[in-house]
Structure 1
Amino acid sequence: MIGELALLFGVMIGLLMLGLPIFFAIGAAGAAYAIVYAPKVPLMIIGQRFVNGLDSYDFAAIPFFFLAGEIMNRGGISARLLRFARAAIGHIRGGLSHVNVLASMVFAGVSGSAAADASAIGSVMIPAMKREGYPAAYAASVTAASATIGPMIPPSIPLVIYALFAKQSVGQMFLAGVLPGLGMGLVLLAASIWISRRRNYPSRPWQGWGELARSGVTSALALALPVIVVVGLVSGAATTTEIGAIAAAYAVLVTSLVYRELPLRDLWTALCTAAVDSCRVLIIIAVAGIFSYIIASMGLAYSLAKLASGLSDDPAIVLAVIMLILLLLGTVLEPVTLLVVIVPILVPTAQAVGIDPIQLGTVAVLATLVGLVTPPVGFLIYLTAAQAQVRAGPVIRELTPFVLALIALLVALVFVPGLSLWLPRLFFG
């Protein structure tokens, strides 16, 4: 089995290091395995698995959630959320730094995407922070770190992907992501406040309760989107795909009829962007069907389950080991790839030692999100560094306290299951 794994993952990682697209690397690794071990995996299986990888009605929810986020992003919601964040905590020392984090927290319930969060918030906050004297690298780092909140607070594409691959309820996974998502915001705010006080960053005058109330009212319709998504799923009023379609329709209505800031041209652009982003995710899911079949045929999940059982009888210890593995892999693989390739292996292993798959999901998603702000891949590092017009090296150094804060929360998720499981158990029993 070691030789088979070396071939499968060696080809995939080798092609990724050459700069080839992720879906191609995964598919080519599966094809290479099928050629070398032809009796085990007939080549005709490749095509079948490619189709079967997407053979789930719930995957249709992914384009709808992408579309809802794009429309809300382009329809004036970013400015309203930033105004609300400024009114709430902009007066605390280092106010713009804290506003950056809070804006990402509230924007997370709209976009569900780290890239969208960093692009929308960073395009406004990074220049503003630089004008007020914050170092460019720090402005980029706080933007990158807070953007990781987006894929944890519902609606969340990674939580949908995990739920479907792990055969769990999307509604339960969304509820499980609420407290960890809020926790991410709190630990990042704590780090931001600590840094701002040490460096004596500037603050602004308190704008008053009136401005807070006015900004809250103008943001209320946008902030209602995650509530609609979660309530719809928890109540069983609609399926995951139907909720995604409702979210997209709601976004169109709010931005075009209420805010009136979504021109027809921007709606078309949002449709095209959402289509491209969806295809990038769905083609990875499709080729991951090949990977899942090969791993299942190896019996790898069973072998790892036995190994985990022998490692420790304590589920928390095994989950901590899984966390470390995911953190390590996250430095070279992006979240969607990690989830679709590793989840089919992890879930049977975790269940064999008594780990709740819902808790595993929140730990797995947060661990992969940390990879977005850790080198050498760290997509958000380079995105925000480009926005701030600074080299990646200083951004990575400034990110250190924020990454440590996220890892501390991750450890808490491992050893305090209630952080993930309290809300799902409250509503689903």
Structure 2
Amino acid sequence: MIAIWALLAFIASIVFWNAVLKRNIGEAMIVGFVVVGAFAGRDAPKYMWEGFVNSMQEEVTFAGLAFIFMSFILAKTPVLDRLIDILNSFLGRLRGGPIYTSTVAGGMFGAIAHVGASVTAAVGSVTVPWMKRSGVSGELSATVVAGCAGMGVTFPFSATMFILVGSSTVTGMMAADDIIVPLAIAGLWCLGYRLVLSYYLVRKNGLQPIAPEDRIPVKRSLRVGWTSLLLFVPILIPLLLTRGPVAAPIAHYTDLVMSSALSLITWIPVLMILLVLFLGRRHLPKTSTGWWKVLGDAAPQFGVIGITIVAAFSASAVLAKLKLPQQLTAMLESLSAPSWLMAILVGIIIVIIAIPLTASATMASVGPVAVAALVGTGIAAPVAAAAVLVFASTEGASPPSGAPIYVASGIARIDPSKIFMPLLKYYCIPILGIGVLIALGLLPV
């Protein structure tokens, strides 16, 4: 049980350091990492060093910093302003238009890309600045984008789904195809909830349509800023190469599987930075002194976000070394309860596991046992599998370690800790509830 205690201590130390002592989240994550390491005893130096090395090799670490740099470059050019003018010309007359757009885009992109951090990066890079320009706070903007990251897991055909249905335990209870329709419907339930939440957030925060005098006519905004629409190209190119009609011929003629060879979370920010440098070249510094000032202005955000991501992934690696998945699996196997209580317990356990782990890692470690536990109470296997994937989809909204939290915060340039409670309240706990209702048949799939 030492790993379970380590996880609880990790969360408690971060909350105490950040919320009680009012220190920044970067410091709090370092403290949490040290606390977790202490549970390793004599192996602490080895486990902590290996965890640190692993975290430095994580793509999300690079992506979080790359998007911060991109946002600072964009701020020095009129490129994004022109794109936002176009979006406002079309949707500015709607109350909370950017929030609804971000939510729907998260569902659409999630159904294609499936990786939470990729969904956050691709959607957030456009909608977060748009929301802020429309009067939405940075905290709410980041909350909405990070809260939609999990939709990549709740739609077929994610790697997480295949990890679950491909396990010997689950294949013995159902065919792989049996989950496609239940999971698609479960994903629609989750999207529907997020749209209802968007309606509530728009009203709660008193968001208003963009004033008519601030909306540029469509023809003029397109004429002036059409080149800003090219900002979607860095999103579309990797997407088409990895999952579009181009991917199959490439794989056929070169034996190269682009979805494995080309990382969305790495190449989207790289291509966006290159495009912004080109589109904004007239407005960017021409001297090394000017560029040094841009980097100096960005440095504080680089520090906090970078340290936070590295510490989060380092702690996750140590928890894995302490055998957290195995210990939680043993706990699941020992449970014996009626279906309603089992659904709640399984959901809570998976949500807790998804705090330090990704959804894929969560499914690989405890997903099959969780499905078996639900089936043992009389729940149909496809329904149980869909519910378990919904539980795991909270990874993006599970503080303090959800990678999309830090990607969204980096784009919005806010302290990540400020969206911890909103994410728990608006996304993590309600999505847990949706999973329970699906498992019990109260939300049919």
TM (norm. structure 2) is: 0.55
- C-alpha distance in structure 2 between counterparts of 1:340 and 1:332, whole Å: 14
Deviation of the 1:251 alpha carbon: 4.9
Distance 2:442 2:86 in 1: 32
Within 2, Cα distance between the matches of 1:346 and 1:388? 36
Matched, 1:171 2:166: no
**CA–CA separation in structure 2 for the residues paired with 1:24 and 1:175:** 37
Structure 1 residue aligned with 2:48: 18
The one of 111, 116, 119 equivalent to 1:117 is 119
For 2:3 and 2:354, how far apart are their aligned partners in 1?
22
Alignment partner of 1:337 is 2:361: yes
Deviation at 1:268, TM superposition (A): 8.0
- Aligned residues of 1:93 and 1:193 also touching (Cα < 8 A): no
Show the 5 A alignment for 1:22-421. 91-165=93-167, 166-167=170-171, 168-204=174-210, 248=243, 250-252=245-247, 271-273=261-263, 307-308=334-335, 311-312=336-337, 314-399=338-423, 400-416=425-441, 419-420=444-445
Q: Is the 8 A contact 2:375 2:384 kept in 1?
A: no
| Alpha-carbon distance between aligned partners in 2 of 1:378 and 1:5, rounded to the nearest angstrom | 18
> 1:130: Cα distance to partner?
1.3
| Separation in 1, partners of 2:52, 2:357 | 9
User: Could you say what secondary structure the match of 1:385 adopts?
Assistant: helix
Equivalent residue letter for 1:18: M
Ranked by relative contact order (alpha carbons within 8 Å, sequence separation 6 or more), the top structure is 2
TM-aligned CA distance change 1:4 to 1:198, over 3 Å = closer
Describe the shift of the 1:249–1:387 C-alpha distance in structure 2 as closer, same or farther (beyond 3 A).
Answer: closer
Deviations along 1:209-249, whole A, 9 cap, x unmatched?
xxxxxxxxxxxxxxxxxxxxxxxxxxxxxxxxxxxx99845
Among all aligned residue pairs of Structure 1 and Structure 2, give the percentage whose two residues are the same amino acid. Answer: 16
Query: Residues 253 and 20 from structure 1, CA distance in 2 versus in 1: closer, same or farther, beyond 3 angstroms?
Result: same
What one-letter code is carried by the residue in structure 2 that aligns with 1:273? S
Q: Distance in 1 between matches of 2:351 and 2:403?
A: 15
SS of 1:250's equivalent in the other structure is coil
In structure 2, the CA distance between the partners of 1:338 and 1:84, relative to structure 1 (3 Å rule), is: farther
The gaps in structure 2 that reach 5 residues or longer are 7-35, 56-83, 219-239, 250-256, 268-319
Q: How has the CA–CA distance of structure 1 residues 418 and 200 changed in structure 2, closer, same or farther, with 3 Å as cutoff?
A: closer
SS in 1 for 2:136: coil
Say which SS state the counterpart of residue 331 (structure 1) adopts. coil
- Partner deviation per Cα, 1:359-406 (whole Å, 9 max, x = no partner): 222222221221321212121111100111110122223323233432
Report the alpha carbon displacement of residue 336 of structure 1 after superposing the two structures with TM: 1.6
The 3 A distance-change label for structure 1 pair 20 and 192 is farther
Q: Aligned letter for 1:176?
A: P
User: Structure 1 stretches of 5 or more lacking a match?
Assistant: 26-81, 209-244, 255-266, 278-287, 421-429
Contact map agreement 1:173 1:358 (CA 8 A) in 2 = yes
* AA partner of residue 142 (structure 2): A
Contact 2:391–2:435 (8 Å) recurs in 1:
yes
- Distance in 1, Cα, partners of 2:89 & 2:402: 32
When the two structures are aligned, how many residues end up with a matched partner?
295
Answer yes or no: is the 8 Å Cα contact 1:316–1:415 preserved in 2. yes
Counterparts in 2 of 1:323 and 1:153: CA distance versus 1, 3 Å: same
Q: Which residue matches 1:232?
A: none
CA contact 2:247–2:258 (8 Å) conserved in 1: no
Indicate how the Cα distance of structure 1 residues 376 and 3 shifts in structure 2: closer, same or farther if over 3 A, else same. closer
Provide the TM-score with structure 1 as the length reference: 0.56
Aligned partners of 1:122, 1:406: CA distance in 2, in Å? 21
In structure 2, the CA distance between the partners of 1:149 and 1:348, relative to structure 1 (3 Å rule), is: closer
